């Protein structure tokens, strides 16, 4: 107890216990989700002026219990299958609570620092990556891709005798990054941040299965090489966000090797698909890439804030992300015998990415993998890929539903259709259906496939069962029927 400090530094058990009933209740996902429709009610309670005087821990716990937790975000609810996100399961949630109390930074010689390394090693092994890859946890897939492309940029320009991290981008050269038109938009932003420029991401068209068209890519690479453009990286999608397509990785490895270009694989969502034997061959030779990204906070359902990047050449990655030495950092370390926790940084992640202070993220990944084992992850991934195939089968068998993408991973895009409704009106109709589904707590997201408005469930949620999948499809059909029957949608072709 520090008498001059107003923040409570003790009473952790009391405080956590006070919140547990509300958290348990939240995780039952009972009743309708009213956080959106009734937002003015709880905005009013929470949106207060900065308090001048201390209101105390009780006031905080009370708001958390009464308002914040009940009005939280239901992305873990069984009916949620939107975007590529979900809520943590229990072991990940409690591991991250433990870390926020007793492992508040990932550095120095302590159990959490070791678990960063172990979790990265386990992930590498689980996904069949090269054990010599250097891994790093970052906040998510966007930052993981930024780190990988930072290393790729370093590689490309060092080959020309230029150190872009030290000297910036050369004036007299032009360059390109190569990816398919289905690439995640985080790649463009990474290109912007790295000074490569969003406009220098060259997009290759995709084939009917939404995979990069290899012949078109080769033609672009030939053309650009003849024009003297520096190829910074080929980006392979190992699971596109839109439809879950996996680019032909083995062919891209060959192209990258032959042309001496860095191969980066964005498997933020889809790399776990390698664990389903039905589609594992699609990921063959991914371990030969120069960098690979995978997000534990997606299919592994780790708490959000957990992406992982693996880079083959650690020394290069360090040159890309090095910081100037500082007496208060490196100068404060000792080498040799560790006589105190703070003698050195432990397994050192400081120079490998953009973050300095960073939470211990490995502990949650370690907890999940220890709890369910490699087998539990394989089982989940296969179950979710089967859900997508199930949606495809259900939609194919129903004359008023239409699958719009053949599932590769755990996404199946589909839509409601009716012969009497025009193609243009179908887009609005499906948008309306999706909105009504959301009001019922059934939450796929939506997208466009081949220009058509699609309902897009993406199954990574551990709480979803086949009953939820059937319900989503059945309700799509029923809502679509009701909307077309009451004449709200154009009946003319
Ligand atoms: C393929 C892919 N890459 C990158 C990202 C960005 O990941 P994050 O949202 O974790 O930053 C996503 C997100 O869905 C993704 O699907």
Q: Which atom of ligand 1 is nearest to the CA of 270?
A: 1
Over the stretch 338-378, which tens digit does the pLDDT of each residue have? 899 999 999 999 999 999 999 999 999 999 999 999 999 99
Ligand 1 centroid – CA 144 distance (Å): 9
Question: Which token pair is 344?
Answer: 């050195």
Over the stretch 100-137, which tens digit does the pLDDT of each residue have? 999 999 999 999 999 999 999 999 999 999 999 999 99
* CB-CB contact of 123 with 362 (8 Å): no
Q: Whose CA is nearest to atom 14 of ligand 1?
A: 84
Ligand 1 centroid – CA 117 distance (Å): 23
Strands of 323-413 (E only): list them. Answer: 401-403
In this structure, the residues whose C-beta lies within 6 A of any atom of ligand 1 are 84, 140-142, 145, 184, 186, 241, 266, 268-269, 295, 307
Res. 43: pLDDT tops 60: yes
Ligand 1 centroid – CA 441 distance (Å): 24
Q: Which residue in this structure is represented by tokens 């990655």?
A: 317
Q: For ligand 1, pick from 185, 245, 266, 295 the residue to mutate: most ligand atoms within 8 Å of CB.
A: 295
Over the stretch 448-485, which tens digit does the pLDDT of each residue have? 999 999 999 999 999 999 999 999 999 999 999 999 99
Give the pLDDT band of residue 491 (cuts 50, 70, 90): very low
Ligand 1 centroid – CA 267 distance (Å): 9
Q: For ligand 1, pick from 142, 149, 283 the residue to mutate: most ligand atoms within 8 Å of CB.
A: 142
Res. 60: pLDDT tops 80: yes
- Measure the CA dihedral 155/161/163/168, to 10°: -110
DSSP state of 374: H
Q: Which atom of ligand 1 is nearest to the CA of 145?
A: 4
Ligand 1 centroid – CA 103 distance (Å): 26
Question: Which token pair is 425?
Answer: 């009106």
Res. 66: pLDDT tops 50: yes
What average pLDDT score do residues 238-244 get? 98
Give the pLDDT band of residue 254 (cuts 50, 70, 90): very high
* Pick from 385, 402, 391: nearest CA to 454: 402
pLDDT at 486: 66
Chain-centre distance for alpha carbon 399? 35
The size of the chain, in residues, is 493
pLDDT at 489: 66
Q: CA dist 300 to 274, 374, 407, 456, Å?
A: 13, 11, 20, 20
What average pLDDT score do residues 251-272 get? 98
pLDDT at 493: 38
pLDDT at 487: 65
Ligand 1 centroid – CA 48 distance (Å): 34
Question: Which token pair is 43?
Answer: 């905005």
Give the pLDDT band of residue 492 (cuts 50, 70, 90): very low
Ligand 1 centroid – CA 190 distance (Å): 12
Q: What DSSP string describes 100-117?
A: HHH--SS-SSSHHHHHHH
User: 481 CB contacts (<8 Å, ≥6 apart)?
Assistant: 400
Ligand 1 centroid – CA 93 distance (Å): 21
Q: What DSSP string describes 271-300?
A: GGGGGSTTTGGGGTTGGGSSEEEE-TTTTT
Q: Whose CA is nearest to atom 4 of ligand 1?
A: 141
Supply the mean pLDDT for the chain: 96
Q: For ligand 1, pick from 191, 269, 355 the residue to mutate: most ligand atoms within 8 Å of CB.
A: 269
Q: Whose CA is nearest to atom 5 of ligand 1?
A: 141
Give the pLDDT band of residue 415 (cuts 50, 70, 90): very high
Ligand 1 centroid – CA 268 distance (Å): 6
DSSP H or E run through 316: helix 314-321
What average pLDDT score do residues 23-42 get? 97
Q: Which atom of ligand 1 is nearest to the CA of 183?
A: 1
- Work out whether the CA dihedral 442, 444, 445, 447 comes out positive or negative: negative
Ligand 1 centroid – CA 445 distance (Å): 15
Report d(CA 179, CA 168) in Å as an integer.
24
Question: Which token pair is 260?
Answer: 């001496």
pLDDT at 393: 98
pLDDT at 133: 97
What average pLDDT score do residues 319-343 get? 86
What average pLDDT score do residues 50-59 get? 98
pTM: 0.97
Q: For ligand 1, pick from 81, 82, 83, 140 the residue to mutate: most ligand atoms within 8 Å of CB.
A: 140
pLDDT at 333: 79
pLDDT at 488: 64
- Give the rounded percent of residues in the chain with a pLDDT score beyond 70: 98
Res. 276: pLDDT tops 90: yes
Over the stretch 169-201, which tens digit does the pLDDT of each residue have? 999 999 999 999 999 999 999 999 999 999 999
């Amino acid at each position: 107890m520090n008498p001059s400090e107003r923040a409570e530094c003790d009473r952790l058990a009391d405080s956590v216990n006070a919140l547990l009933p509300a958290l348990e209740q939240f995780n039952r996902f009972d009743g309708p989700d009213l956080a959106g429709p009734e937002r003015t009610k709880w905005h009013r309670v929470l949106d207060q002026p900065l308090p001048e005087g201390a209101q105390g821990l009780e006031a905080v716990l009370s708001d958390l219990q009464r308002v914040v937790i009940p009005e939280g975000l239901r992305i873990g609810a069984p009916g949620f299958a939107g975007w590529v996100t979900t809520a943590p399961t229990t072991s990940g949630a409690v591991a991250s609570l433990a870390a926020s109390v007793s492992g508040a930074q990932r550095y120095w010689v302590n159990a959490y620092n070791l678990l960063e390394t172990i979790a990265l090693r386990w992930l590498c092994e689980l996904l069949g990556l090269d054990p010599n890859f250097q891994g790093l946890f970052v906040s998510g897939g966007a930052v993981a891709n930024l780190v990988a492309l930072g290393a790729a940029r370093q590689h490309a320009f060092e080959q020309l005798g230029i150190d872009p991290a030290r000297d910036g981008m050369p004036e007299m050269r032009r360059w390109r990054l190569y990816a398919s038109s289905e690439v995640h938009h985080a790649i463009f932003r990474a290109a912007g941040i790295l000074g490569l420029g969003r406009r220098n991401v060259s997009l290759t068209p995709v084939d009917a299965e939404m995979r990069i068209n290899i012949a078109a890519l080769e033609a672009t690479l030939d053309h650009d090489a003849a024009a003297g453009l520096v190829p910074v990286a080929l980006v392979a999608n190992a699971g596109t966000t839109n439809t879950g397509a996996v680019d032909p990785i083995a062919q891209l490895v060959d192209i990258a090797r032959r042309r001496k270009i860095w191969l980066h694989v964005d498997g933020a969502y889809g790399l776990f698909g390698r664990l389903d034997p039905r589609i594992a061959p699609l990921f063959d030779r991914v371990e030969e890439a120069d960098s690979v990204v995978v997000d534990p906070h997606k299919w592994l359902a780790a708490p959000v804030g957990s992406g992982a990047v693996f880079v083959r050449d650690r020394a290069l990655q360090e040159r890309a992300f090095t910081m100037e030495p500082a007496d208060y950092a490196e100068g404060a370390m000792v080498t040799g015998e560790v006589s105190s926790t703070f003698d050195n940084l432990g397994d050192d992640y400081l120079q490998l990415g953009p973050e300095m202070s960073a939470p211990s993220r490995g502990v949650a990944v370690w907890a999940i993998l220890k709890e369910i084992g490699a087998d539990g992850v394989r089982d989940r991934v296969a179950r979710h890929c089967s859900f997508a195939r199930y949606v495809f089968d259900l939609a194919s068998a129903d004359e008023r539903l239409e699958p719009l993408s053949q599932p590769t991973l755990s996404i199946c895009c589909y839509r409601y259709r009716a012969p009497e409704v025009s193609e243009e009106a179908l887009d609005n109709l499906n948008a309306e259906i999706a909105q009504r589904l959301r009001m019922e707590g059934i939450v796929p997201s939506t997208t466009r496939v081949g220009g058509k408005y699609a309902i897009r469930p993406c199954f990574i949620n551990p709480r979803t069962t086949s009953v939820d999948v059937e319900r989503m499809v059945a309700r799509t059909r029923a809502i679509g029927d009701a909307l077309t029957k009451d004449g709200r949608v154009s009946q003319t072709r």
